[in-house]
Structure 1
Amino acid sequence: MRWLHQQDGFATGAVHDLWKGIQSQLHLVESRDRKIPFDQWKPREKLEAYIFFYQISNGFVPDTDEDNWIFLGFCTARDHHGVTTLANLYRVLIGKCKFQEFWKAMEQSDMVGLFKKYGLGHAIPQLRNFGTLMNVVGTWYQSVWELKRFTRLPTVEPMQAVALDYGFYNCQTPQERMALRRMYAEFFDRGGDEMKLHLACISGQLAFFLLLELQKLPVSADLLSNPYPLEQCGYMGMVVENAALCSESNYELVKKLYDEKGEKVVILTHPDEKDEGINEGFIERLQFLRESVRIRMTDVQGVTVKEMATIS
């Protein structure tokens, strides 16, 4: 919906063809979905795929501020040529696959499998980091992609994951924050490898890595410190939409119950014996969710689960 309103003239009602074009695609979806407004479709991948089908068929590609810029891997493109290459591959793909296949591949992090199914798998190795991102993005993704987005948008503050992982929490002045942002922008503009930056982040080696990449550090190395590495932490540098926190001994039970409900949740665990300080540490780190966060306690067959989700 944000993308629709950003198109020239659409928000003011001056252009109606765009809306008609969007509506003309309803044959792609099941009859039950046609009876409700498409911005209420669930899961979200169905709506995002629907908008993308219209975009890519009419010469558009997802812009930096759209979810599909990350969810469909356009963030991995090194430059405009890379964006064009990926867009052309998607045009071929949607000409071969069914809409249902496409949005389910998004939901199940299996877009690479869909490319391979329709004879486009040969292109994946040429798309740096595309396969790595698309194999996980339906569940979670590396915060480096939000860092890259931040360097390209007129946003003053980065999201919490980026602030914590990439040093912005260390900035004391706007000048420091801007210098840090310019440094990362330079790294991406040079075609720097995002996943190598992510690995440097979660190993606590940002300053060393960026010094090698840029030949100099335009900011103090102190600004590039972060809490990593962390022992036995499988979500370092990751962004999720929905998470649940439970004790290690209850993991299998909680996983089974969420599977039965058909809810897609990243289940994180803490040691059975913990103090409140450790618990609060988990909760603080879970503030890396994409938007504002809802936290609630749920009792599942006598097991207390702390649920965290973004509020759209």
Structure 2
Amino acid sequence: MRQIVSSWPESKSTCHGFCGITLSDWHPSPTAKTWVTFGFCVCPNEYAESNLAIMYKTLFQRCTFDEFWHAYDESSLIALFDRHGLKEDRLRIPNLEIVLKGSPRGFYSVWYLKQFVVDETESVSPPLSVCVDYGFDKCNSSSLLEDLKGIYKLLFLEAHVDPVKLHEVCIAGDLFGFASGFIKFKKAEKKKFARLMKNPYPLPILEL
């Protein structure tokens, strides 16, 4: 079986592995790529992640593996949920549709930011898009990186900000202003974090 799976396209083998852990009553952790690609990144806590895993398990009882794999590969998992009577369930999970309509190839960088921030094992490295969008490219020391990471962790886990709203603020170029609405920065911190959280956005409009 291992030899057969190794010959499959990456998306098919990813789905096979995901089905295996889900049917064994587990779900991806933030260290796993599938934590993002199957939408667990939208969940605010472990309880919500468990409920999403149950929804997938229910789906697996109603569809074939090939249906699931092709839907994943074609970014149509939302349609698959709806077709198998799970529309109301998935609508109760904010932002799930936004993630799954781009999966497995296109995501807002904020989901990878959240993955980097909430990972407790320190085994997740931020991709370049996260570094540029959220200021980690300016962190020239581990202490600065941890300080900035702590700000985003507070926004996600304590202020419970909507990641999509954070994405919108990011591309508007107002990360520090947004964060200041939730965090009371000390005078000495304002200059540091204003500099770190400054990004290239909004991008200039090119005239044709």
Q: Secondary structure at the match of 2:51?
A: helix
1:11-61 deviation line (CA, Å, top 9, x unaligned): xxxxxxxxxxxx5xxxxxxxxxx8x4413311x210011011111111111
Aligned position for 1:223? 196
The whole-number CA distance in structure 1 between the counterparts of 2:109 and 2:124 is 17
1:196 aligns with 2:165: yes
Two-structure CA RMSD over aligned residues (Å): 2.0
C-alpha displacement of 1:222: 1.1
1:177 aligns with 2:150: no
Q: 1:210 aligns with which of 166, 179, 182?
A: 179
Aligned position for 1:237? none
Aligned position for 2:61? 95
Q: Secondary structure at the match of 1:63?
A: coil
Amino acid at match of 1:41: W
Is contact 2:148-2:193 (8 Å) kept? no
Unmatched segments (≥5 aa) in structure 1: 1-22, 24-33, 234-270, 272-312
Amino acid at match of 1:195: V
Is contact 2:115-2:124 (8 Å) kept? no
Aligned position for 2:80? 114
The whole-number CA distance in structure 2 between the counterparts of 1:165 and 1:124 is 29
1:48 aligns with 2:14: yes
Where in structure 2 are the equivalents of 1:27-66 lying within 5 Å?
36-42=3-9, 44-66=10-32
Is contact 1:143-1:162 (8 Å) kept? yes
Higher strand share: 1
The whole-number CA distance in structure 2 between the counterparts of 1:120 and 1:82 is 16
TM-score (norm 2): 0.88
1:152-210 deviation line (CA, Å, top 9, x unaligned): 14148522111111001122332211100111111111222111111111110101111
Is contact 1:45-1:107 (8 Å) kept? yes
Aligned position for 1:288? none
C-alpha displacement of 1:129: 0.9
Query: Which of these two proteins has the greater Rg computed from alpha carbons?
Result: 1
The whole-number CA distance in structure 2 between the counterparts of 1:79 and 1:195 is 16
The whole-number CA distance in structure 1 between the counterparts of 2:91 and 2:204 is 32
The whole-number CA distance in structure 2 between the counterparts of 1:155 and 1:53 is 24
Where in structure 2 are the equivalents of 1:147-166 lying within 5 Å?
147-151=113-117, 152=119, 153-155=121-123, 157-166=125-134
Is contact 1:71-1:106 (8 Å) kept? no
Amino acid at match of 1:168: F
Unmatched segments (≥5 aa) in structure 2: none
The whole-number CA distance in structure 2 between the counterparts of 1:67 and 1:207 is 28
Higher helix share: 2
The whole-number CA distance in structure 1 between the counterparts of 2:28 and 2:205 is 36
Task: Decide whether aligned partners of structure 1 residues 232 and 47 sit closer, same or farther in structure 2, where only a CA change above 3 A counts.
Answer: farther
TM-score (norm 1): 0.60
Alignment length (residue pairs): 200
Q: Secondary structure at the match of 2:107?
A: strand
Where in structure 2 are the equivalents of 1:64-79 lying within 5 Å?
64-79=30-45
Q: Secondary structure at the match of 1:214?
A: coil
Q: Secondary structure at the match of 1:119?
A: coil
Is contact 1:168-1:177 (8 Å) kept? yes
1:187 aligns with 2:155: yes
Amino acid at match of 2:145: R
Is contact 2:68-2:77 (8 Å) kept? yes
